[in-house]
A and B are shown apart, each in its own frame.
Chain A
Amino acid sequence: MCDVTAEKKHEEEQRQQLVDLSQAARLATMDRMVTEIAHEINQPLTAIANYSAACLRALQDDQPIAKVMGWLEQINAQAKRASQIVQQLRAFIRKGKITPAVVDIDPLVKEVADFTTIEARARGIDLGIQPAGVACRVLADRVLIEQVILNLIGNAMEALAEVDSRERRLLVKVARQAETITISVCDNGPGIPPELGERIFEPFVTSRHDGLGMGLAICRSVIEAHGGALTVTSTPGEGATVTFTLLMTDEEEHA
C-alpha cells in the first residue's frame, strides 16, 4: 500500500515538473512568437494603412470612384488576413494540456517546420527537413517537444540573420538508432562564440541581441525530463548544431 502511495506521489511530482516546464517553455516560445506575430500582422496592417491613405487622397481630389472601390476591397481582404493570423495564434496557445503520449517524431517535425516556413521565407532562409523515413515513436508530451524544436529553429534563425555572404541554410534532421531517436537542428550561421561554451545553457546567457536567453536552458530541462539529452556542437564561422535524443517506445500510437 505504502509503495503505491509513494509511487503515485512521485508520478504526481513528475507531472507537476512537466507542467512547470511547459509554462516556462511556453513563455520562452511566446517571447519569440511575439516578434514573429508582430511581423506577420504588420504586413496586412501596412497594406491597409497604404490603401486607406490612397483612398483618402483619391477622394479628396475627386479621382474615379471605381479605383477607390478596388482599394477598399483590398483593405477588406487585408483586414481578414490579419484576423486569420490572430486566429492561428489563438489555436497555437490553446493547444493541448500536459499528457505524455505516444508521438511519432517525423510528422511532428514536419508540422513544426511547416509552422515556421513563413518566417524562414521572410528571413531568406532555406529551411529543410530530413526525416528518418521510418516510425520513430517516443513517449513524450507533444506540445513540449514541439516547443523545444520551435525554440531551436528560432535560435538558428536568429543566428542566420547575421549571415550575408552565403546562402542561409537550416536543416532539421531525424534519425533512428537502436533505442533512441536523434533530432538535430543545424544551421550554417556564425556558430556559437567559443567563449560562451557550456554557459549557453545557463538562463539569461545568450549570443542573441534580443530575447531573455531562457530558450536553451529550458529546452535542455524539457529533454532531460523526458530521459533524453541535449547537446550543442559548433564551428565558429561555419554553423551550429543542436542535437537532442528521446527514448523509443514499443507502444502503438493511439488515434
Chain B
Amino acid sequence: MTQPPVYIIDDDEAILESLDALFSSVGMKVATFASAQVFLDFLDRQSSPCVGCLLVDVQMPGLSGLELQAQLAQRQPHLPVIVITGHGDIAMAVRAMKAGAKDFIEKPFNEQTLLEQVQACLAENRRTQQELDELQATQTRLAQLTQRERSVLALLMQGKPSKMIADNLGISPKTVDVHRSNIMDKVGVRSLAELIRRVIKLEKSHLHQAG
C-alpha cells in the first residue's frame, strides 16, 4: 500500500518548503500548494476523493484557511485538517476547530508534536477510509439481492423471527432460513448480528441517503 500524502498549503514559500523537508526527512509523502485555490484546483482534477491529511495555514491572502475548510466540508468531508496558526492566536485556533479542524499547531512548530499530530490524522483517515470501503462493499452486495431476499431482509431488520417472516410472506419458515443464509453469503457476513450491524451502518451513512 502506498503511503497517503500530507497536503500542505502555505503562502510563505520558506514555511512550505521547510515542512516538505521535515516530512520527507522521516520518509513521509508530501504535496505542497502555494494557495488554497491551487489546492482546490488540484482536487478538481482528481477522479477519486483524496486520502491523507491536510496541513493548512489559517492566515493566507485570497482564500483563507477557514474559507477553505468550509469548501472542504462540502467536497471532502473525510479529509482530516490540521491548521497552522500564529503563536498565541487562540481565537483563530478555536474558530478553525469549530469549523471542523482535527487539530491545530502554533508556529514555530515543535516538530515531534507536529509529526505525531499528522500521523494521528493519517491513521484516523485510514480507518475512515476502511469504513467507507466497507460501506461501499455492503451497498454493492445488497444491490445484488433478489426482490424476495430484500423483503426477508426488511423484516429481519424489524427484528421479526423466521416464523413470523414466513407468515408475512406466505412461505415456509425453512425457505425463510434459506433466504437468510443466502443473504448472509451475498453480503459476506457470518452472523446475523454482523449483517444487522452492516445494514444499520449503511442506513446511517451518507451513501444510503445519496442512493
Contacts and interface: CB of A to CB of B under 8 A. Distances in A.
B19 A50 contact: yes
Nearest to B63: A124
A135 B181 CA distance: 91
A121 B64 CA distance: 11
A51 B109 CA distance: 11
A63 B25 CA distance: 8
A39 interface: yes
Contacts of A178: none
A46 B61 contact: no
B12 interface: yes
B107 interface: yes
Given A42-B86, A74-B17, A124-B59, A50 B12 contact: no
Contacts of B19: 50
Interface in A160-205: 164
B107 A42 contact: yes
Interface in B19-52: 19, 21-22, 24-26
A84 to B, nearest CB: 13
Contact of B22 (A39, A42, A53, A77): A53
A10 interface: no
B60 interface: yes
- Kindly state the interface size class of chain A when it binds its partner: 20 to 34
Contacts of A209: 91
A121 B61 contact: yes
Given A42-B87, A42-B107, A47 B18 contact: yes
A51 B111 CA distance: 10
Contacts of B109: 46, 49-50
A41 to B, nearest CB: 10
A123 B61 CA distance: 6
B62 interface: yes
Interface string A56-83: 0110000100000001001001100100
Contacts of B66: 164
Contacts of B87: 38, 42
Contact of A50 (B11, B22, B59, B67): B22
A48 B111 CA distance: 11
A122 interface: yes
Interface in B106-152: 107-109, 111
16 contacts: A43-B14, A43-B15, A44-B14, A45-B107, A49-B18, A50-B108, A54-B18, A57-B22, A63-B25, A74-B21, A78-B14, A122-B59, A122-B61, A123-B59, A124-B59, A164-B67
Interface of B: 11-12, 14-15, 17-19, 21-22, 24-26, 59-62, 64, 66-67, 86-87, 91, 107-109, 111
